[in-house]
């Protein structure tokens, strides 16, 4: 009994470390979606056997493959999970965002959730190369799944918010190192939940210990930001902001203990200075992640953006 009790405690600690989303795994994951949701699981998007090169597609009921014409193709939201660039998988973050997840399908959107390589295995720019490859696959195979390839939005959380922002802002900059092959898709809007935006600023923040090689940012870069400011700049979404970027909705907790909310504020300010439509929501008393971000007023703003920019 003592051993069983010890194992339960150990499991609970692991859940706390890795995050609540790991509890939600397929097939239980489908319980978050409306009945009849069409589910395509573990699609290989990079023509290899890597488990980190898989994506899932969720479609509204009564939307089968090759059954919809171009006029009835449905807009796509791409879900990029968090986990410090080294944890979790394509099911993560859905568990505490369950009402928003359900609303995507109920509102007639397709949802694609993607894996990407961990920074502990492949440093930057590997994760962003994977994100570009995954969305390019969805673009090239849009007809197979009844997706409108010209109506794509991205949503990301924490490290996934960083990748969603970086992918969106660099989309019109043609950065060769960010993709193994040319990308043809265009992102229409980005929904960034508490993603870091400026690694140089983050390195200089006394409240964040990023100047050691055990820190997730240092592991992602393969170096300290203060030693390789060139890498830190290339990996920072704010580097790629220009007037032609698509609209942004930025959401972050007031009391985020992992990513200072100044990261979202500086992204918001740079977007404003470049005339890019955007909104910033600082959630009162909210930590780094959790059900406070699944609130109706945030969800209302999310779907205002989708209706406006994926119409």
Query: pLDDT, tens digit, for every residue of 141-173?
Result: 999 999 999 999 999 999 999 999 999 999 999
Q: Global pTM?
A: 0.89
**Angle CA 216–218–221, to nearest 5:** 110
Average pLDDT, the chain: 89
At 298, list the tokens. Answer: 């945030």
Query: pLDDT, tens digit, for every residue of 27-69?
Result: 577 899 999 999 999 999 999 999 999 999 999 998 755 444 5
Least confident of 3-12, 84-93, 182-191, 233-242: 3-12
Spatial separation of the C-alpha atoms in residues 199 and 215, rounded to whole Å: 12
Domains belonging to the chain, first-starting first, are: 26-309 (3.40.50.1820)
User: Percent of the chain, pLDDT > 70?
Assistant: 86
Could you please report the per-residue DSSP string of the chain? -HHHHHHHHHHHHHHHHH-GGGG--TTGGGGGSPTT-EEEEEEESSSS--TTSEEEEEE-TT--TT-S-GGG-EEEEEEE--STTTS--TTTTTGGGHHHHHHHHHTT-EEEEE----TTTS-TTHHHHHHHHHHHHHHHTHHHHTEEEEEEEEEEETHHHHHHHHHHHHTTT--GGG-SS-----EEEEEEES----HHHHHT-TTS--SSTTSHHHHHHTS-TTT-HHHHHHT-GGGG--TTPPPEEEEEETT-SSS-THHHHHHHHHHHHTT--EEEEEETT--SSSGGGG-HHHHHHHHHHHHHH--
Cβ distance 99 to 107 under 8 Å? no
Least confident of 63-72, 89-98, 302-311: 63-72
């Amino acid at each position: 009994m003592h051993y069983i009790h010890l194992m339960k405690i150990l499991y609970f600690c692991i859940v706390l470390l890795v995050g609540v989303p790991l509890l939600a795994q397929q097939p239980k994951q489908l319980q978050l979606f409306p009945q009849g949701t069409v589910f395509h699981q573990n699609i290989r998007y990079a023509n290899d056997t890597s488990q980190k090169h898989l994506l899932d597609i969720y479609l509204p009921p009564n939307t089968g493959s090759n059954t919809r014409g171009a006029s009835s193709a449905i807009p796509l939201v791409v879900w990029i999970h968090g986990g410090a660039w080294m944890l979790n998988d394509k099911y993560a973050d859905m568990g505490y965002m369950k009402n928003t997840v359900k609303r995507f399908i109920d509102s007639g959107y397709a949802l694609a959730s993607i894996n990407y390589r961990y920074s502990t295995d492949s440093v930057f720019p590997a994760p962003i190369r994977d994100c570009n490859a995954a969305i390019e696959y969805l673009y090239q195979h849009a007809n197979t799944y009844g997706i409108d390839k010209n109506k794509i939005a991205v949503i990301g959380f924490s490290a996934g918010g960083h990748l969603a922002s970086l992918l969106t802002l660099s989309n019109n900059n043609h950065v060769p190192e960010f993709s193994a092959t040319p990308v043809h898709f265009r992102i229409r809007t980005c929904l960034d939940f508490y993603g870091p935006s400026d690694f140089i600023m983050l390195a200089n923040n006394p409240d964040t210990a990023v100047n050691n090689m055990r820190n997730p940012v240092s592991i992602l870069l393969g170096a300290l930001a203060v030693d390789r400011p060139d890498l830190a700049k290339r990996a920072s979404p704010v580097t790629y902001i220009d007037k032609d970027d698509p609209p942004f909705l930025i959401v972050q907790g007031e009391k985020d203990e992992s990513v200072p909310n100044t990261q979202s504020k500086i992204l918001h300010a740079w977007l404003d200075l470049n005339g890019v439509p955007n909104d910033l929501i600082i959630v009162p008393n909210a930590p780094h992640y959790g059900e406070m971000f699944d609130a109706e007023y945030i969800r209302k703003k999310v779907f205002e953006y989708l209706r406006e920019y994926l119409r």
